[in-house]
Amino acid sequence: MELIDKYFPDLTEEQRRRIAALYGLYADWNAKINVVSRKDFDQLYLRHVLHSLAIAKVCAFADGARILDAGCGGGFPSVPLAILFPGARFTAADSIRKKIAVVEGVAGALGLRNLTPRCVRVETLEERFDYVVSRAVTAMPEFLRLTWNRIERGQAGSLPNGVLYLKGGDLAEELALTGKRWYVYDIPRFFDEPFFETKKVVYTPKK
């Protein structure tokens, strides 16, 4: 929790309580359904919670913003973001039922009413979103094929609507293949921990 306080010193009591509760909730769920690699579970706050919150350092979502977490697995990045932005509305989508069961369990225990877990393939969704957030789902050209049509033009936060994706390593070639203009934010601009050394938030607006 100190790690989160270090970079997000202005959390409300409710946000702190919810973030602090994540460890116990994921520990219980992960014992039943493995959604967070057991070898990095003791680094849950660094590798999963803080990593997810890097998106918040790039874009602040307005109240009412509609955000899709495409391929959310156990709820990253959407669960930490939904705690941080209680006025925004998150849809956490994954095609694997047992992963969605974990997200339902965690969100239910936290009383996180601004997050809706959905067991669905994202390319079959019919509703529109202001932003798509994601981590570790598929290569970017394919990811955009799955999600781009779901995004509505506009601005429901500090950046124009678009895709915000957590990525690592050298991505110039992969991003170039999409034919879109990308803005790359190195996470070490926000967080000091060596874990983030090569990690980035990449963003493209829906124009």
76 is annotated as contributing to ligand binding: yes
Q: Any known ligand binding at 122?
A: yes
Strand order in the sheet with 115-119: 115-119, 89-94, 66-70, 131-135, 162-168, 199-205, 183-186
* 123 among annotated binding-site residues: yes
49 is in an annotated binding site: no
Closest approach, Cβ 59 to ligand SAM, in A, equals 17
Using CB atoms, what's the residue nearest to ligand SAM? 73
Which of residues 134 and 204 has its CB atom nearest to ligand SAM in the complex? Answer: 134
Residue number, 44 or 62, with CB nearest to ligand SAM? 44
Q: For the CB of residue 10, give the shortest distance to ligand SAM in the complex, in Å.
A: 26
CB of 140 to ligand SAM, least distance (A): 13
The CA-atom distances, in angstroms, between 119 and each of 96, 104, 145, 169, 190 are 6, 10, 19, 30, 33
C-beta of residue 48 within 8 angstroms of C-beta of residue 135: no
Q: How far is the CB of 73 from ligand SAM (least distance, A)?
A: 2
Contacting residues toward ligand SAM, per CB under 6 A: 71-74, 76, 93-96, 99, 121-123, 135-137, 146
The answer to whether the CB of 113 falls within 8 A of the CB of 87 is no
Q: In angstroms, give the least distance from the CB of 1 to ligand SAM.
A: 20
For the record, the structure tokens of 90 come out as 């998150």
Task: Give the residue with the Cβ less far from ligand SAM, 117 or 157.
Answer: 117
Measured from the CB atom, the residue of 43 and 95 that comes closer to ligand SAM is 95
Which residues contribute to the annotated binding site?
Answer: 71, 76, 122-123, 135
